[in-house]
Structures are given as C-alpha cells and as structure tokens.
Amino acid sequence: MIQSDLDLFGPQPQRLASHTVLLPGFALGEIEPLLDALRPVLRAAPFRHMRTPGGLHMAVALTNCGALGWVSDEHGYRYSATDPLSGRPWPALPPVILSLATRAAAMAGFEGFVPDACLVNHYLPGTRLSLHQDRNEQDFSQPIVSLSLGLPAVFLLGGLQRADKTQRVPLSHGDVLIWGGEDRLRFHGVQPIKPGVHPRMGERRINLTLRKAGS
Ligand code: MD6
Ligand code: FE
C-alpha cells in the first residue's frame, strides 16, 4: 500500500478550538539551539518558587527572559522589567526563541507576533498548575505561544468560565501550542506531571510561554 503523502511531513497542525492550534513536534528540529540559548538565561536568572498574593508557595518554579517578566508576590501578579532576585533587568530574549515563537504564531494565523516576555516554568513529577486565565498582559489581541520540553503533560483547556468543562490536551517534548483571538482568555491548567525521566531533559518538564505583555 502507498503511504499518504501527508504522512511524509510528520504530524499535522491540530486545531483545538477556533483560535487554538497545536503544532506537534514543531520545535524538534531546533531543540539543541534552544537549549543552548536557555542555559545562559538560567544562569543569570535561576528558577525560583514565587509566592502567590495569598502567601502560598507556588509548586511550579519559574524565571523569565525578555524586556518584561511575570512575577508574583504579596502585592499580586504583574509584569516587571527587573528580576526581583537580582534587581537587574531580565536576560534578553534569545533570537532563536523569538524566531520560533514568531514562526509558530504565523502558522496559527497570527502574523507579526513579536513577544516581549518569555515565562519559563519548571515542573517536577507531581507538580501541577491549577486552572487560571492569563490576563496580566496589556493587549489581549496578541496570542500566546507555548513550547513544551521534557516530560509529557496533560494540558487542560477550559472555557471562558472557570466552571466550563475542560479538554485534555497531551503535550510532548517539542510541541508548540498557540492560542489567541476569542480563545485568549480561556481558563487552563496542567495536570500533575507523571513520574518519569525524559531522555534529553531528565526528570522535569520545562514550558516556555511567549507573550506580548507590554503596550
Ligand atoms: C504550561 N502554560 O504549559 C503552562 N498559558 O506549563 C500556560 O499556563 C499557558 O501553555 C497560556 C497559553 C499557553 C500556555
Ligand atoms: Fe497560562
């Protein structure tokens, strides 16, 4: 039997909602350059556990690169131009990461996406991210581009109300998820990461979310 031509190009984009697109394995051809770019970022701005405004320790460890970084403390959630740990600006957004985000966004129909913030989340097995909306950015007309690395996760894609039912979306190493438009304010979260060791990344999941946070 002759294989369908489509199969020769690897997994195809999947539309999960009207303005939500999963690009399976989109980053697989550039993992090493991405990791090379991430290493100096993590040296300058190490992962840390921030506190929620309610005083709880966040299970996910995080850091940022780009002009703006997402931070959380007793005053609330917001974007800051400086790393509260060092008092210095966040490390610059590496060109290879910026390029990946712009290309992925264009594939999903968001031409001209230029992020100014990259939130880097670190999950150990057992870590989850509870259902939330991303609404600290100035301009909700811009999408968010999310890159998954390491251990697989189940992403929960909800609706515009917290109580809406959620879709379970498996995310693997190298997958890129883009969402915007009318999906931009959907509730979402990550189920607890299953124990495991990823052959390249070890016992962790790292997720990069690229946003246009400022105006
Ligand atoms: C994560 N991601 O996948 C957490 N937010 O680790 C997010 O919270 C997220 O992946 C907005 C858009 C895409 C995302
Ligand atoms: Fe989010």
Is residue 35's pLDDT more than 70? yes
The answer, yes or no, to whether any atom of ligand 1 lies below 6 A from the CB of 41, is no
Q: Chain centroid to CA 37: how far?
A: 16
By the 8 A CB rule, do 115 and 210 touch?
yes
The answer, yes or no, to whether any atom of ligand 1 lies below 6 A from the CB of 134, is yes
Q: Which domain holds residue 77?
A: 14-211
Q: Tell the residue nearest (CA) to atom 10 of ligand 1.
A: 146
Does an H or E element contain 21, and which?
strand 20-23
Residue 11 pLDDT level (bands cut at 50, 70, 90): confident
Is residue 8's pLDDT more than 80? no
pLDDT at 10: 75
- What is the gyration radius of the CA atoms in the chain, in angstroms? 17
Instruction: Specify if 196 maps to a domain.
Output: yes
One-letter-per-residue 3-state SS of 101-162: HHHHHHHCCCCCCCCCEEEEEEECCCCCEEEECCCCCCCCCCCEEEEEEECCEEEEECCCCC
Residue 4 pLDDT level (bands cut at 50, 70, 90): low
DSSP state at residue 177: E
User: pLDDT digit string (tens) for 96-117?
Assistant: 999 999 999 999 999 999 999 9
SS3 call for 197:
coil
Instruction: Specify if 73 maps to a domain.
Output: yes
- Helix, strand and coil content of the chain, in percent to the nearest 5, comes to 20, 35, 50
pLDDT at 6: 60
Nearest in space to 145 (alpha carbons), one of 198, 195, 90, 213: 213
Instruction: Specify if 87 maps to a domain.
Output: yes
pLDDT at 104: 98
Instruction: Specify if 7 maps to a domain.
Output: no
Q: What atom of ligand 1 comes closest to residue 121's alpha carbon?
A: 6
Does an H or E element contain 64, and which?
strand 61-65
Distance of CA 1 from the midpoint of ligand 2 (Å): 44
Instruction: Specify if 156 maps to a domain.
Output: yes
151: domain CATH number is 2.60.120.590
Nearest in space to 174 (alpha carbons), one of 195, 201, 210: 201
Is residue 3's pLDDT more than 70? no
How many CA atoms, within 13 angstroms, populate the side-chain half-sphere of residue 183? Answer: 19
Instruction: Specify if 8 maps to a domain.
Output: no
Nearest in space to 139 (alpha carbons), one of 185, 70, 76: 185
The answer, yes or no, to whether any atom of ligand 1 lies below 6 A from the CB of 205, is no
Instruction: Specify if 36 maps to a domain.
Output: yes
CB atoms within 5 A of ion ligand 2 belong to: 134
Distance of CA 132 from the midpoint of ligand 2 (Å): 6
Q: Tell the residue nearest (CA) to atom 6 of ligand 1.
A: 207
Is residue 43's pLDDT more than 60? yes
Nearest in space to 45 (alpha carbons), one of 92, 96, 99, 115: 92
Instruction: Specify if 2 maps to a domain.
Output: no
User: pLDDT digit string (tens) for 60-86?
Assistant: 999 999 999 999 988 899 999 999 999
Pocket test for ligand 1, best of 136, 144, 154, 179 (most atoms within 8 A of CB): 144
Tally the domains of the chain. 1
Ligand nearest to the CA of 208: 1
Mean pLDDT of the chain: 95
The answer, yes or no, to whether any atom of ligand 1 lies below 6 A from the CB of 190, is yes
pLDDT at 122: 98
Query: What is the C-alpha separation between 37 and 44, in angstroms, rounded?
Result: 12
Q: Tell the residue nearest (CA) to atom 8 of ligand 1.
A: 189
